[in-house]
């Protein structure tokens, strides 16, 4: 039986959350061998080539990408702002703090969806988003109330809040500006926009990086980040954004910490404490509520 458009969108974002979660583990492999700006410029360049090749194979015209390119440049630029502020924030704060700030993204997306695309989130959806946020924060802080109480908002957190807002704007803008093109075309345009902004920002790091000396493992990670967590996830977000409200699209970011817990268990045998599983259960409950909530 064929899935409804909304269920297709949910399936796309479930895949998105799983694929993105793996990038955190893989990213540690290359963190000390290539600068973030050089890494992101290369990943966007490779992703653009992959999407261009895929468009040719599927006989999807790319001319619409350059017709009104400003809209794709805008969305890509916002994604570039997200990645840039994330890495800049990590220089002055912790990964836990940035992850905690990121849990605000679905609620930001709900507001952006209302203002930009006229998408209204009902009470049921807002309750689900709140439960998901609480569950995600509980997982991020590893069920440690003391660590949660020590959380403070500083310059790094404030900087990344700007990046989180930029990320939250993308689904609503995709629904508003790119409803007349295919998801693959939107993804290609968005990646090109991100490449331009990131390349300009990280030009110095890019020309001073000795790419020839990088280990094969580094290139394998870069390939995964480019093909899977850039080209692939950009496509999934654009695909889902045409089928779901922005708040529901971004709600799947709540699942990322839970996926990380699962990968740690499967790859390293790390058993999460029972209290931590309560946070995982909360995020799953939130998603179940969204599936039963009002139609997009």
Nearest to 173 by CA among 86, 40, 76, 84: 76
Q: Are 156 and 43 in contact (CB under 8 A)?
A: no
- How far, in whole angstroms, is CA 233 from its chain's centroid? 7
pLDDT digits 0-9 by tens, 267-279: 777 777 777 888 8
Above 90 in pLDDT, residue 71?
Answer: yes
Nearest to 251 by CA among 122, 85, 128, 82: 128
Average per-residue pLDDT for the chain: 83
Under DSSP, the state recorded for 181 is S
pLDDT at 295: 45
Above 70 in pLDDT, residue 175?
Answer: yes
pLDDT at 83: 83
Q: Which of 87-91, 124-128, 178-182 has the highest mean pLDDT?
A: 178-182
Under DSSP, the state recorded for 254 is G
The mean per-residue pLDDT over the stretch 231-243 comes to 87
Above 50 in pLDDT, residue 203?
Answer: yes
Tally Cβ neighbours within 10 Å of residue 42.
24
**Is residue 217 very low, low, confident or very high in pLDDT (cuts 50, 70, 90)?**
confident
More confidently predicted of 295 and 33:
33
Long-range contacts of 35-39 (CB under 8 A, 24+ apart): 35/202, 35/205, 35/209, 36/83, 36/87, 36/202, 37/84, 37/87, 37/198, 37/201, 37/202, 37/205, 37/206, 38/202, 38/205, 38/206, 38/209, 39/222, 39/225
More confidently predicted of 200 and 139:
200
Phi, psi (rounded to 5 degrees) for 9 = -65, -40
pLDDT at 293: 57
Whole-number Å distance between alpha carbons of 185 and 129: 30
Longest dimension (CA), the chain: 55
**Is residue 95 very low, low, confident or very high in pLDDT (cuts 50, 70, 90)?**
low
Nearest to 93 by CA among 162, 136, 157, 47: 157
Above 50 in pLDDT, residue 296?
Answer: no
The mean per-residue pLDDT over the stretch 110-126 comes to 78
The mean per-residue pLDDT over the stretch 122-135 comes to 81
Above 90 in pLDDT, residue 53?
Answer: yes
- How far, in whole angstroms, is CA 189 from its chain's centroid? 17
The mean per-residue pLDDT over the stretch 94-113 comes to 77
pLDDT at 241: 86
């Amino acid at each position: 039986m064929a899935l409804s458009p909304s269920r297709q969108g949910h399936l796309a974002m479930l895949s998105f959350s799983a694929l993105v979660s793996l990038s955190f583990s893989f990213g540690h492999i290359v963190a000390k061998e290539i600068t973030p700006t050089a890494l992101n410029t290369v990943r966007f360049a490779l992703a653009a080539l992959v999407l261009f090749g895929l468009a040719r194979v599927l006989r999807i015209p790319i001319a619409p990408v350059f017709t009104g390119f400003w809209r794709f440049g805008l969305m890509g630029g916002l994604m570039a702002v997200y990645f840039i502020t994330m890495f800049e924030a990590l220089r002055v704060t912790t990964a836990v703090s940035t992850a905690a700030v990121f849990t605000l993204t679905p609620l930001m997306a709900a507001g952006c969806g209302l203002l930009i695309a006229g998408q209204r989130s009902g009470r049921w959806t807002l309750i689900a988003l709140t439960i998901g946020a609480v569950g995600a924060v509980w997982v991020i802080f590893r069920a440690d109330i003391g660590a949660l109480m020590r959380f403070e908002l500083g310059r790094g957190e404030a900087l990344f809040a700007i990046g989180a807002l930029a990320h939250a704007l993308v689904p609503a803008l995709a629904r508003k500006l790119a409803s007349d093109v295919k998801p693959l075309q939107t993804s290609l345009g968005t990646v090109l926009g991100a490449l331009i902004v990131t390349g300009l920002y990280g030009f110095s790091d890019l020309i001073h990086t000795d790419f020839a000396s990088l280990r094969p493992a580094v290139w394998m990670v870069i390939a995964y980040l480019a093909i899977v967590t850039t080209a692939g996830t950009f496509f999934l977000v654009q695909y889902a954004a045409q089928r779901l409200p922005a708040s529901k699209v971004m709600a799947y970011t709540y699942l990322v910490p839970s996926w990380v817990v699962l990968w740690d268990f499967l790859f390293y045998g790390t058993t999460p404490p029972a209290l931590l599983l309560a946070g995982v259960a909360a995020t799953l409950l939130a998603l179940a509520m969204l599936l039963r909530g009002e139609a997009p």
